[in-house]
Amino acid sequence: MSAAAIVVILIILLVLLLLAFTRISPDAVLVGALTLLMVVPYPTDTGWVIGVLSGPQALGGFSNEGMITVGVLFVVVRGLLETGGVDWIAQRVLGRPKGLRPAMCRVIFPVGGMSAFLNNTPVVAMLIPAVQDWAKRLDIKPSKLMIPLSYGAILGGTCTLIGTSTNLVVAGMVISSTDLPPIGMFDITRIGLPCAILGALFLIFVGPKLLPDRGSARSTMADPREYTVEMIIPPGSGLAKRTVEDAGLRALPGAFVIEIERDGVILAPVAPDQVLLEGDRLVFTGVVDSIRELQNLRGLQPATDQIFKLDSPRYRRRLFEAVISQSSPIVGKSIREAKFRSRYDAAVLAVARDGERLRKKIGDIEVKPGDTLLIEAHPEFDERHRDSREFLLVSALHDSTPRRHSRAPLAMLILLAMVVAATSGVFTMLQAALLASGLLIFTRCCTISEARKSIDWTVLLVIGAAIGLGRALEVSGAASSIANAIVIVAGSNPWLVLAAVYITTSIFTEIITNNAAVALVFPIAYATSATLGVDFMPFIFTIMMAGSASFASPLGYQTNLMVYGPGGYKFTDFLRIGLPMNALMAITTITLAPMIWNFNPVP
């Protein structure tokens, strides 16, 4: 083994140790390792050489087609989120199941279907609060549904090329590092779909016994602020002529309908079978998160007409909470008398007052010191009034831009066109994603600012740097040395070597990240297949599956980490259900991959 190979292996071992046993972020560790590979000197027969990698070799991963595709797909998903397209899908598919196993089916299969065509991370991020609220309504502990939510997204992501960034990274390395044809959109479906079905069945039938029975770590932290807000059923609303229960407005988590005003008549209490009509004014009471969700509920709109008189378009506004100070000039006046919209260029949507239920219309509520107002305004509202004596506190609500529901069909049509264009071979996946993201911005399904913010640069840094480390394994000869060692240990049996590749990738995925794992194992597997003289195709899809099938640790896959808190989990909870899942995926993949893509001899 050459000195360069030893340097590379030592640096990669350092990376694994830092990622496994420290809290240093993966992007910092991997970029630091890439820097070392460019500057650490090592001896050769002709003298000392600085750096295993040249600048272009080290930075080549950042021009990798798979990495760029991942970044562009963040924008595509943001377009669907901002138009409420994903919210609409979630509302339609969750439904009202009876029992835990039917509820798990409602989570696993729809999220798997969405994750097959959308990046897992934003899909799970959007569904976590929806599933939490839904679980409360069904009287099911969140811990029974949060792991299935994450695992369902992982399983769905293995079914198509664009389902997970792992697949795209491997596909990009196939293009840049081999002479093989590009991986097609549904090539992985032949192995991913059977694995997804088996994994889903395991979760549904065995999962209830292995999943813990406990609430969210945040469930005890109740929000003391209770707002009163008015919404109306506008003309053409899909909620008209449906009952309160059928519209999904009964027993909303954290909010409920206290009365309906119809033609000047107050209907209270509101019965579940009460039919809603166009023009109905619904009065809700609830905590801020629930009121925020009401603003984005398709078929409802705020009752106040002030939101339509603001200067900026709704898709450029945000929600804010503002606490009234003793010295505010609007104290003692009603919101209408204070001319709140003219004074602050903002509209009051709801008012919270020490848990008191305010039954007056928004414009008639008299403002008192300490009142918390829920306000819709332009994004600079908090900057303008943060230091004002009129407010004790002004804070923006995260992800509170009103959804552009009218553009949801257009956004979903663009997504469908992207999938068809990439699948048919008219465009590459990158070309189709670039066109789709451009159309979403051009048609105002999302703004340029939202598109910029949607890109997770940490993920892209990890992918680009990890590909650079994989390149170092190749050019130093370390990949060939490791491949020879694998062949010596596993023998010349390609099935055993394939199993070794799967296990190695799976272990790396659990202790570092999935993208870094496949980028490191890919050159080793490629060298191993060349040493054996067999086709590389079974190894490609084995790496894809092993890199995605991270079930035994909350650290190996981002969606696992995202559900860790909301599900109230412990590390051992993932081990209990994740290890059997890992074993099931390994056996299925190692069995099917050589049957679908044979170990054909190659020169």
pLDDT digits (tens, 9 = 90+) for 485-543: 777 777 778 999 999 999 888 887 876 677 778 888 898 889 888 888 899 999 999 99
CA angle 539, 501, 469 (to 5 degrees): 90
Domain interval for residue 125 = 66-215+407-457
Clarify whether residues 171 and 255 are in a common domain: no
CA distance 45 to 48: 8
Residue 459 CA to residue 340 CA, distance in Å, equals 43
Cα separation, 560 vs 148, whole angstroms:
10
Domain match, 288 and 358 both: yes
In a domain, 91, yes or no: yes
Residue 25 maps to a domain: no
- pLDDT recorded at residue 46: 84
Residue 574 neighbours by CB under 8 Å, 6+ apart: 147, 551, 552, 553, 554, 560
Asked whether residue 193 falls in the same domain as residue 80, the answer is: yes
What pLDDT, on the 0 to 100 scale, is given for residue 253? 63
236/325 same-domain check:
yes
Of 105, 283, 289, whose CA–CA distance to 208 is shortest?
105
Q: Please tell me the predicted confidence (pLDDT) of residue 67.
A: 81
pLDDT of residue 104: 93
- Per-residue burial over 325-335, b = 16 or more CB atoms within 10 Å of its CB, e = otherwise: eeebebbeebb
Burial track 483-494 (b if 16+ CB lie within 10 A, e otherwise): beebbeebeeeb
Among residues 197, 203, 186, the alpha carbon closest in space to that of 156 is found at 197
- CA–CA dist 392, 389 (Å, integer): 7
**CA pair distance 43, 3, nearest whole angstrom:** 6
258 plus 298 within the same structural domain: yes
CA dihedral sign, ordered 303, 309, 310, 315: positive
Domain total for the chain? 2
Q: Is residue 22 part of a domain?
A: no
Report phi then psi at 219, rounded to 5.
-65, -25
Q: State in Å, rounded, how far the first CA of the chain is from the last one.
A: 25
Residue 57 placed within a domain: no
- Which structure tokens are listed for 37? 């590979």
Report phi then psi at 283, rounded to 5: -105, 120
Quick one: which of 166, 168, 165, 94 has its CA closest to 129?
Answer: 94
Statement to judge: residues 76 and 110 lie in one domain: yes
Residue 9 falls within a domain, yes or no? Answer: no
Nearest C-alpha neighbor of 391 from the set 456, 341, 344? 344
- Spatial CA neighbour of 557 closest among 546, 568, 566, 567: 546
- Which residues of the chain fall below pLDDT 50? 217-222
Q: How far is CA 91 from the centre of its chain?
A: 17
303: left (phi over 0), alpha (psi -120 to 50) or beta: alpha
318 and 207 in a common domain: no
Q: What are the Cα distances from residue 433, in Å, to 63, 121, 175, 497? A: 16, 17, 17, 36
Q: Flag whether 46 is in a domain.
A: no
pLDDT at 189: 94
Q: Which two tokens stand for residue 298?
A: 């398709």
Q: What is the pLDDT of residue 309?
A: 60
- Rounded distance between C-alpha atoms, residue 275 and residue 128, angstroms: 30
Give the residue from 434, 457, 480 where a domain finishes. Answer: 457
- Please check whether residues 254 and 386 belong to one and the same domain: yes
The reply to whether 170 and 317 lie within a common domain is no
pLDDT at residue 86 in the model: 67
- Residues 210 and 234 placed together within one structural domain of the fold: no
- CA–CA dist 487, 532 (Å, integer): 8
- What lies within 8 Å, CB to CB, of 162 at 6+ separation is 69, 73, 117, 168, 185, 419, 422, 429, 433
For residue 100, count other CB atoms closer than 10 A to its CB.
Answer: 17
Which stretches within 379-456 are classed as H helix? 381-385, 408-424, 429-442, 448-454
303 with 390, same domain? yes
Indicate the SS3 state at residue 225: coil
Q: Model pTM greater than 0.75? A: no
In a domain, 305, yes or no: yes
- 563 in any annotated domain: no
- Element holding 352 (H helix, E strand): strand 346-352
298 and 446 within one domain: no
